[in-house]
């Protein structure tokens, strides 16, 4: 899934050591607010792993497109959603690369030259309802 918006909060990173393997882990959460909508939505997502956190380098106020997966897990008879980002793109990076315009693909079908007259004198209604 993918969502585009502005980062409105950067939450403190959490880190620890896995009980089973003894490997260190790090996770950071961010809040993204959608832009360009009548009713903006907010989504809290996380980035797992110190390498990914450093690679994405997400800053407060940035406009991003975030690709993420949604998962759910159970802990002590409660269920929690996990929204984990796997790709982050800066909106300014996407806007700077112009997209080629394909003139052969028209957004609307061509309009016929002669308008159709639906008010012709045919009294019979062929519609079944």
Q: What is the pLDDT of residues 104-121, one digit of tens each?
A: 555 555 555 555 555 555
In a domain, 81, yes or no: yes
| CATH number of the domain residue 57 falls in | 2.40.50.140
In a domain, 99, yes or no: no
* DSSP assignments along 52-116, one per residue: HHHHH---TT-EEEEEEEEEEEEETTEEEEEEEEEEEEEHHHHHHSPPPP-TTS-SSPPPPSSPP
In a domain, 10, yes or no: yes
- Residue 112 in tokens: 């016929």
Note the pLDDT tens digit of each residue in 27-81.
999 999 999 889 999 999 999 999 999 999 999 999 999 999 999 999 999 999 9
Task: Give how many domains the chain has, as a whole number.
Answer: 1
* pLDDT interval class at 125 (50, 70, 90): low
In a domain, 128, yes or no: no
* pLDDT interval class at 92 (50, 70, 90): confident
In a domain, 13, yes or no: yes
What range does the domain containing 25 cover? 2-93
């Amino acid at each position: 899934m993918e969502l585009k918006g502005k980062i409105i909060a950067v939450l403190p990173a959490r880190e620890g050591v896995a009980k089973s393997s003894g490997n260190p882990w790090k996770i950071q959460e961010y809040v993204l607010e959608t832009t360009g909508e009548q009713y903006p939505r907010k989504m809290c997502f996380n980035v797992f792993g110190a390498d990914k956190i450093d690679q994405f380098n997400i800053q407060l106020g940035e406009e991003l497109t975030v690709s993420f997966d949604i998962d759910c897990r159970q802990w002590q008879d409660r269920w929690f959603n996990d929204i984990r980002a796997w790709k982050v793109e800066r909106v300014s990076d996407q806007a700077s690369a112009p997209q080629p315009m394909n003139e052969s693909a028209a957004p609307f079908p061509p309009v016929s030259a002669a308008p159709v007259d639906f008010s012709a004198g045919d009294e019979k209604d062929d519609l079944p309802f």
